[in-house]
Amino acid sequence: MVDIAPVPRRPSRLRPLFWGVGSGLLTLALTLLGLLFVTFIIARIVPIDPLLSILGERATTAQYEAARLAYGLDEPMWKQFAIYLWDAVQGDLGTSIRTREPVLSEVAERFPATLELATLGTLFGVITGVPAGVLAATRPGSISDQVVRVVGLLGYSMPVFWLGLIGLLVFYGKLDWVGGPGRLDASYQMMMQFQMEQYTGMILVDSALNGAWDMFANAISHIVLPAALLGYVSMAYISRMTRSFMMNELSQEYITTARVKGMPEWRVVWVHAMRNVLVPLITVIALSYAYLLEGSVLTETIFAWPGLGSYITDALFAADMPAVLGGTVVVGVAFVTLNMLSDILYRLVDPRAQA
C-alpha cells in the first residue's frame, strides 16, 4: 500500500493582509493617543487662560474658583489628561468660547466643505499629474518634458493667495466664467438651508441626490476655480513624483526585455512599468490628499470657503483654543486614517508587501 503524502496547504494571502490591517489599527490608536497628548499639553502651556476666556475679565475670584472646580482644573495633570482622553473618545472635544457650541458639531458642519474641495482638487491633480509625469518620463529632455517640469515648478513657486486673487480677477471679475466666493449664490443658500434635505453636507452630492440640478450647476461654478487652484498645486507634486518613479522603472532590465520581445510601447509603459510605479504613487496621492484635507487656509480665505482651515484660523485669531485644538485633532485623525488606508492599498497592489 502506497502512502500518499498530504498536499501542503498554501498559505492564505489574506492572513498577512489582515495582520497588516491589525498592526495599522494599533499604530493608528497609538498615534491618535500621542496626538491627544500633544494637544492637551499645548492647551496647558499657551499663555491664554481658558477660564478668563469663558468668564470674562470681570469675573470675581469666587466665580473663577467655581469654574476651576467645575472644569476639573484643580485635579492632578495626569487625571486632567485622563478626563480629556475619555471625553475625546466619547466625541466631546470641548465647547467653543466664541459660539458656546460643541466643537465637534461645528467641525462636522465645516468638514464636508473641505472634503468636497480637497477631493475635487486631488482628482484634478491625479488626472492631469499622472499622464504629465509619464509623458515627461518617456521623453526625457524633450520639449514636453521641459514644459511639464516648468509647469510643476511654477506650481511650487507661485504663492497660492496670488494665484487665487488673479483667478478671481480674470475668470470671475472680467470674464464671468465662474461663480464668485462662497459655495453658492445667496438665493441657493436659502434654498439649501430651508427647502433641501441634506445627506452629506457636500453640496454637489446633496443637490444631485435631491435632483436640484440648477443648484448643482451653481455649486460647480463656485467650486471649479478653487478646486482647480488646489488641483494645480497637487498636480505639480504628483507629476514630479510620477516622472521620477517612471524614469526609474523604465531603466530596469525587465523593461528592456519587454521591448526586445517586441511588446508595444504603450503596454510597456502603462501596464508593466505603471504596475510598479503605482505602489509608491499611492502614498504620494494619499499624502497630497491629506495635505488638502488639512485645510487650505489661504484658498479658503480668498474664496470665502467655509471649510475646516478657515474655521481653525478664525478660532486662532479669536483665541478660541478649544476650537483650535478640536479642529487639530480632527485634522490629525484624517491624516493618520489616510496613511493607514494607503498602506492597505499598498499591500493589495503589491503582494510582496504582504510577505
Q: What is the pLDDT of residues 226-253, one digit of tens each?
A: 999 999 989 989 999 999 999 998 888 8
User: Is it the case that residue 210 has pLDDT exceeding 80?
Assistant: yes
* Higher-scoring residue by pLDDT: 7, 307: 307
With 0-12 / 13-18 / 19 or more C-beta atoms within 10 angstroms meaning exposed / middle / buried, residue 244 is: middle
> Sign of dihedral through CA atoms 300, 303, 306, 310?
positive
Provide the pLDDT confidence category of residue 56 given band limits of 50, 70 and 90.
Answer: low
Question: Domains of the chain (ranges plus CATH)?
Answer: 16-89 (no CATH), 109-183+223-354 (1.10.3720.10)
Measured CA to CA, the distance from residue 199 to residue 255 in angstroms comes to 48
> What pLDDT digit, counting tens, does each position of 315-345 carry?
877 777 788 888 888 888 888 888 778 777 7
* Higher-scoring residue by pLDDT: 101, 43: 101
| Residue in 308, 328, 314, 354 with CA at minimum distance from that of residue 114 | 308
Give the largest Cα separation in the chain, rounded.
99
Least confident of 45-54, 209-218, 294-303: 45-54
* Higher-scoring residue by pLDDT: 161, 133: 133
> What dihedral angle (degrees, nearest 10) is formed by the CA atoms of 306, 307, 311, 312?
-160
- As a whole number, mean pLDDT of residues 5-14 equals 52
User: Is it the case that residue 71 has pLDDT exceeding 50?
Assistant: yes
